[in-house]
Amino acid sequence: MVFKVIVFGCGAATPTISHHPSSQVINLHDKLFMVDCGEGTQLQCRKFGFGFQKITGVFISHLHGDHYLGLIGLMSSMHLLGRKQKLLVFGPPPLEELIRINLELSSTHLDYEVVFTPTSDSGLQLLHEDHTLEVYSFPLKHRIFCTGFLFKEKQRPLKVPKDCISSNDLMPTQILALKRGENITLDSGAILTSQDVCVKPPDPRMYAYCSDTIYDPQIVQYWSGVDLLYHESTFLNSEVERAKQTFHSTAEQAAMIAKAANARHLLLGHFSSRYRDEEPFLEQAGAIFENVSLAFEGKIIEIPYKQ
Amino acid sequence: MVFKVIVFGCGAATPTISHHPSSQVINLHDKLFMVDCGEGTQLQCRKFGFGFQKITGVFISHLHGDHYLGLIGLMSSMHLLGRKQKLLVFGPPPLEELIRINLELSSTHLDYEVVFTPTSDSGLQLLHEDHTLEVYSFPLKHRIFCTGFLFKEKQRPLKVPKDCISSNDLMPTQILALKRGENITLDSGAILTSQDVCVKPPDPRMYAYCSDTIYDPQIVQYWSGVDLLYHESTFLNSEVERAKQTFHSTAEQAAMIAKAANARHLLLGHFSSRYRDEEPFLEQAGAIFENVSLAFEGKIIEIPYKQ
């Protein structure tokens, strides 16, 4: 089952020639979710050939312009290009009113339904789920109300192999019992144990998005063992004081979070435009945590199952 | 004296790979004014190496997203990049509140002053002037409140040539009298006529921006004899009914306006994304009005003095 992240923007604050403001799409079991939507995101989608009409929901972390200013334009284009399918929007409570005002001022009546769910800053909050996945928000410490997002596969049930079913002529109730982890007794008197016959599905995977945030080891509690962690790294070590003052993190601090969370892979982003060369981000984070990558516009990062 | 228009976006409604949403910068005597600011305009500025901090004022025609959604991001970037100089903003009355709300939600306190002037739909309205130029708004008929903008040089005074001043040993009061068009009598009894000695400055130039608008010959009254007219041409002739329904214009209608205004040059823009080939815009307008050009991102169009 597919689980991947596509980066459309990973620059901090003001857009530059090198980086667009924050936006990603998460493809989880072919359901598409956007996280943050900085100015120009719809253009980035077009540039990378991504059809934004397929998006089920948009998650906005906070109301700094580089994380939400592309949302109204995206929603408007979805409408102009014929969207009928409902759009889920999740974000800080005032975002709902902001959307309403913008649509009202332009006399736009969307041809599709928008279902808005406000995020909250009280712990892990389940925002969305279906039979295979869950999306949560969790609080981040930034200058204004801000949350991260956790994308999580649900644990798939045990599987009884087809040849086991046919060779033992298993009834549906017996199959279900084995899947529940129970043992069953066949007509012959033989016992089939769930542990022996069932195939264990792979461990469910997790992706955590943390931007923007000060260095805050507390957040690890929400997704310990995460498979992929996107953590902001606005600054390098030399600006560690500035990072603290502005409620941002350094590459090294992002790596410390990844290490504390026992993450499998760390993706760095939200780079300040002051840096021309981003290799030092990799070096400074890499000294703490080995499996680290730099985000860039157009990057696709797959989240494989654990071996 | 310089008078030119730089096009940053000339597409209609939704941005595409071919066209960005509406935005232009007018350089009039080295004062820079932006007209409309669709999503991604600040990125276009960077792409074309244009330093947006030098902008004196931004004029927003109407509150459809493709004409204003880049404004908050631009203002925010101006702040982040250290602007201290006052910014003039002109636009529909609700724009002021929209700016306020966005800044408040992001807890942004700009380090520069924003002076907002609401536009009105009652005739020609002087929005801004200095000793060499004037900027006016005028009403356009669109689906929502919308104005065009007229950039106008002031008539420069008559000039008394230096050699005339020195050879006749003219006093300042005499020079001023000649500049006012009066004749003067020298001590010798000889008469100098203003008409004979003064050099007439070139006729002042005008640029009119009309987007978005239905075909409306009434607008010509505001800038008859305009040097450069930017008129929206969202559609071709085949969509003339659709143009009417959506309060837009065709290329042919734009040319009819240019002809009725006795314009010197017509610049077409605001092209619908349905057209892959824009040559027919040139052909259909060109059949009515000879001196016509197509806008494109990065185009710079100079407005020369009349010969």
Task: Label the pairing between strands A23-28 and A3-9.
Answer: antiparallel
- What is the average pLDDT value for chain A, to the nearest integer? 96
Sequence-separated (6 or more) residues with CB below 8 Å from residue B68: B36, B37, B38, B60, B62, B91, B95
Q: What does the DSSP 8-state code read for residue A239?
A: G
Q: How far is residue A304's CA from residue A201's CA, in Å, rounded to a whole number?
A: 14
Q: How far is residue A277's CA from residue A145's CA, in Å, rounded to a whole number?
A: 31
Distance from CA of A47 to the nearest CA of B (A): 7
Across A286-293, average pLDDT:
98
Regarding pTM above 0.80, the answer is yes
Alpha carbon A80 to its chain centroid, in Å, reads: 27
Residues of chain B with pLDDT under 70: none
Residues A102, B47: C-beta atoms closer than 8 Å: no
Contact A82, A90 (CB under 8 A): no
Q: Which helix (H) or strand (E) holds B43?
A: helix B41-47
Q: What is the pLDDT of residue A307?
A: 77
Q: How far is residue B64's CA from residue B145's CA, in Å, rounded to a whole number?
A: 10
Residue labelled with tokens 């536009």: B119
Question: Nearest residue of A to residue B63 by CA position?
Answer: A106
* Residue A77, pLDDT above cutoff 80: yes
Q: What is the DSSP string of B275-306?
A: -S--HHHHHHHHTT-SSEEE--TT-EEE-PPP
Residues A98, B101: C-beta atoms closer than 8 Å: yes
* Side chain identity, residue B177: A
Distance from CA of B63 to the nearest CA of A (A): 5
Query: Is-catalytic flag, B66?
Result: yes
Q: What is the pLDDT of residue A140?
A: 98
Across A96-119, average pLDDT:
95
Q: How far is residue A57's CA from residue A63's CA, in Å, rounded to a whole number?
A: 17
Contacts of A98 in chain B (CB under 8 A): 101-102, 105
Backbone angles phi, psi at B120, to 5 degrees: -135, 165
Q: What is the pLDDT of residue B191?
A: 94
- By Cβ distance, the residue of A65, A72, A98 closest to B65 is A72
Q: Give bridge partners of residue A129 from the DSSP assignment.
A: A134
Distance from CA of B307 to the nearest CA of A (A): 41
Across A94-113, average pLDDT:
94
Q: Give bridge partners of residue A230 from the DSSP assignment.
A: A209, A267
Contact A114, A56 (CB under 8 A): no
Residues A43, B40: C-beta atoms closer than 8 Å: yes
Residues B72, A63: C-beta atoms closer than 8 Å: no
Contacts of A72 in chain B (CB under 8 A): 65, 69
Residues A46, B13: C-beta atoms closer than 8 Å: no
Complete domains list, chain A, with CATH? 3-156+201-302 (3.60.15.10), 162-197 (no CATH)
Q: How far is residue B67's CA from residue B14's CA, in Å, rounded to a whole number?
A: 11
pLDDT in tens, A226-272: 999 999 999 999 999 999 999 999 999 999 999 999 999 999 999 99
Q: What is the pLDDT of residue B307?
A: 77
Distance from CA of A267 to the nearest CA of B (A): 25
Sequence-separated (6 or more) residues with CB below 8 Å from residue A74: A37, A41, A42, A45, A52, A58
- By Cβ distance, the residue of B39, B80, B101 closest to A13 is B80
Q: What is the DSSP string of A169-203?
A: T--HHHHHHHHTT--EE-TTS-EE-HHHHPBPPPP
Name the token pair of B79: 């702040």
